[in-house]
Amino acid sequence: MQKTYNYERLRNYALWYYFKYFPSVKKLNQKMMEKSLDSELTKKVYDSIKHLCEEQRVLEDKIRLYLLRNKNARYIKTQLISKGFEHDMIENFLQKEFFDEEKSLLNPSSIFHKIQNYKNAWKSITFIKQKLIESKADEEIVLNAISEIFQDSEIENIAREYEKLEKKYDKQKIIQKLIQKWFNYSEIKNYVNEHKS
């Protein structure tokens, strides 16, 4: 059975939720409506605390945190829109503060480590490019790191994946499985032909 939320109780909940999660205004109002189901009460509570809700600053702080975690613009936008922040507000802030067609948001050192981790997890070069490249400027940083890390192309990772698959599948199935992991087709074919009787 749902608890009854009067003004004071809903206001206390709203303050607790806001200062714990720093949500968008939209998300905050959604959470209050889940508790009270009374739109007038929700509006009254929101009006009493809206001076505390600095949505623009919260948005900016969240974007900066994502950038510190080396997330690209597409990821940042998707996450923030799903949290109820306005698309235009996100777009405007990114454009104003960070976007320069010639400049990537990615940190080269972090990208190097991230690609190294992907390689160690036996991911393909195509998979890595799909994950990390969003702009022409990103491409340069990512490709430089890939060429340094994958000096012997993808053979090492193909070999590792092949070992896991060879006892379970025939040659065609192994090739299909490796293609699904986005490894280079000609490298797969060469490796499989050399190692499968």
In this structure, the dihedral spanned by the alpha carbons of residues 57, 61, 67 and 69, taken in order and rounded to 10 degrees, is -160
In the predicted structure, residue 60 carries a pLDDT above the cut 70 = yes
pTM of the model: 0.51
Half-sphere exposure (Cβ direction) of 68: Cα atoms closer than 13 Å:
6
The chain-wide mean pLDDT, for the chain, equals 84
Over residues 87-96, the pLDDT tens digits come to: 988 888 887 7
Length of the chain: 197
CA separation for the pair 26, 31 (Å, rounded)? 9
Over residues 161-189, the pLDDT tens digits come to: 888 888 888 888 888 888 888 888 888 88
Domain boundaries, the chain: 7-52, 55-97, 108-149, 155-195
